[in-house]
Copies of this chain bind each other. A is one copy, B any other.
């Protein structure tokens, strides 16, 4: 009980002005630190403000300035450590620049993402940082640029939208991972991803025999890039059908079965590239539960330097994602746009780091 705030009504500039014996506009200037105010008046106003327990109302400020000093961030799932790291990076940059962060999870669903965007736009965020649920659904984002709010994609890219983007060098990363295995002598190498193809039924992506390139038809630009890098490396190594052991849809339920199928039978693969740490995790357990040993029987490498990958026996060779930097840089770029930066939209590509550990050896026999 400081004599104010009975929960009934907030103290306003008008109240402060009255107590300080000045006009509302003057008090506002002293409090908001803009315009010109004499030192004497400023002091009197500030005294009155603290005596009354005045708290600026950012909502009212947004109302008249049209700027909310809030930026929206939409990630697939904050529980995913890569997104958590990116969010931390974004939060640090935002805080330093005086912005608040409004967080939403899209659950990787286009529909949930759309609702989140509507909410953020209604809240009049000054801009948005988004890891898009789908690289092939620009519709959700057109409204944002239409509303005149800057937008920066991170981790994934969506073409056909007037927005900056910050992504990791996934193609190169996949190439390096494949090369590690190829150099160890592997020829039958699987690539396993949790993501599904666009049409959950048919496999739209394909290997173009003529151009000798992977033609992605995937929802995710990340996976598309990685598979492109992966198949490219295999192709350069003279492997006939680079897509032979590429497996999609290895979600929580299916990962185990998919991995088991890959590592058993006549044409069992000798190495696996896991597209994210979830897949690595399931692959690791599935292989071990099958009584197979890593790396003696099967080599395993993957994306994401999740904490557990360094502590298993053997520790797993991975490509680490610059997650925190992804979030920080995209937020940095967003703020620059918010504050007036012009110029063409750019795609920033951040390097990935290869961390070689003990999960790779020469193939058996």
Q: Which residues of A contact B (CB under 8 A)?
A: 1-2, 5-7, 10, 53, 55-60, 62-63, 68, 70, 77-79, 81, 84-85, 87-88, 91-92, 95, 100-105, 118-124, 146-148, 281, 284-285, 306-309, 311-313, 324
Q: Are A78 and B88 in contact (CB under 8 A)?
A: yes
Q: Are B84 and A311 in contact (CB under 8 A)?
A: no
Which of the residues B63, B281, B324 comes within 8 Å of A59, measured between beta carbons?
Answer: B63
Q: Are A88 and B59 in contact (CB under 8 A)?
A: no
A10–B57 Cα gap in the complex (Å)?
22
Which of the residues B58, B85, B119, B307 comes within 8 Å of A306, measured between beta carbons?
Answer: B307
What chain B residues lie within 8 Å of A77 (beta carbons)?
Answer: 88
Q: Could you write out 7 A-B pairs with CB less than 8 Å apart? A: A1-B146, A53-B146, A59-B63, A79-B81, A100-B104, A101-B102, A103-B103
Q: Are A123 and B313 in contact (CB under 8 A)?
A: no
Q: Are B78 and A105 in contact (CB under 8 A)?
A: no
Given contacts A7-B147, A102-B103, A306-B307, 9 further A-B pairs with CB under 8 A are: A59-B63, A59-B123, A79-B81, A100-B104, A100-B123, A102-B102, A281-B307, A307-B308, A308-B312
A122–B101 Cα gap in the complex (Å)?
14
What chain B residues lie within 8 Å of A68 (beta carbons)?
Answer: 59
What chain B residues lie within 8 Å of A284 (beta carbons)?
Answer: 311
A100–B6 Cα gap in the complex (Å)?
26
A260 to chain B, nearest CB (A): 17
What chain B residues lie within 8 Å of A122 (beta carbons)?
Answer: 55-58
A183 to chain B, nearest CB (A): 27
What chain B residues lie within 8 Å of A87 (beta carbons)?
Answer: 78, 103
What chain B residues lie within 8 Å of A120 (beta carbons)?
Answer: 100
Q: Are A285 and B311 in contact (CB under 8 A)?
A: yes
A92–B306 Cα gap in the complex (Å)?
25
Task: Name A116's closest neighbour in chain B (CB-CB).
Answer: B95
A312–B121 Cα gap in the complex (Å)?
45
Q: Are B124 and A58 in contact (CB under 8 A)?
A: yes
A102–B285 Cα gap in the complex (Å)?
37
What chain B residues lie within 8 Å of A7 (beta carbons)?
Answer: 147-148
A308–B353 Cα gap in the complex (Å)?
21
A16 to chain B, nearest CB (A): 15
Task: Name A103's closest neighbour in chain B (CB-CB).
Answer: B103
Which of the residues B78, B102, B146, B312 comes within 8 Å of A100, measured between beta carbons?
Answer: B102
What chain B residues lie within 8 Å of A103 (beta carbons)?
Answer: 87, 91, 101-103
A33–B341 Cα gap in the complex (Å)?
39
Q: Are B70 and A79 in contact (CB under 8 A)?
A: no
Q: Are B88 and A5 in contact (CB under 8 A)?
A: no
A125 to chain B, nearest CB (A): 10
What chain B residues lie within 8 Å of A60 (beta carbons)?
Answer: 63
A281–B311 Cα gap in the complex (Å)?
8
User: Of A81, A100, A105, A313, which is in contact with the most chain B CB atoms at under 10 Å from its CB?
Assistant: A100
